[in-house]
Chains A and B, each alone.
Chain A
């Protein structure tokens, strides 16, 4: 393995661990994006540009939008329920 490949793999290991240890879902989504970027870098270093392209589009655009929208829905539903409980 070349140095670039080693660096890419270590970056993936660090970013993957970071995703697990971030507790707040909103921050976790952003860290997940960085993890996706490091995976892209690793696929590219391993000479798989097609997979790298797939990973960067899914990891940086596809998944975060869905997760962020779901988080927003959950929060607004929570806030509304609290409002209702206060008004009663």
Chain B
């Protein structure tokens, strides 16, 4: 009698702990996806001062392209090849849009906002036309199916992989920006474009490359997110504010800011969804409110947005 109730209590305790631990892992996974998305947004906004409101659309196209490559179209293709192909296609698309449209509007942030917003509507409608209104599921990579047991808990392998990849991307980005000639050239081009040109840096080409990099990262995040979130019309408008809030929170142009902002939002959003599902989107408001009141430039921002 006593033994069974004790056992039941133990079981409930373990179940509860599993719940919280899984929620934590999910939060970090979501934060990793947000980081991949927001890092590009933050780079483009922080370095080039372009408020790229089509970033959510690039994420969504990435997801849709991933769905095309991985389901139906070429069934034998590996997940990573599909993800890389989507990222490259969207990076090229980003570069073209930057060259053709945004380049015509230098130093006019409002015009850039409106043009990127306009393009995001065109993209959303285009995706609806091509891929239809039903949510698409994308299978994760086969090698990462199933779970891994750590102690008494089983964690989905794919989600852990997403976290690892985001960490690798963060390190590579940091190295690229802070420790290479390419990064130094970008920083020089941002601080003093005229002088950078004089010493022989092709600032214009460099900015297109940064934009393409940001776009490619967004699309890559879209493919990585597809097995977890699915791809559906409206995904762009769902994810864009999250990236915005991450950047408002962490400060624009700061890699560390993007990491911390993503983690904060990842945790708040997932715990909010588990505890107060109806208000999950609303609770995002709270950290943003705090940061704006106390430190309007964001936690790690160099200047006010």
- Same complex for A and B? Answer no
The interface of chain A, by Cβ under 8 A from chain B, is: none
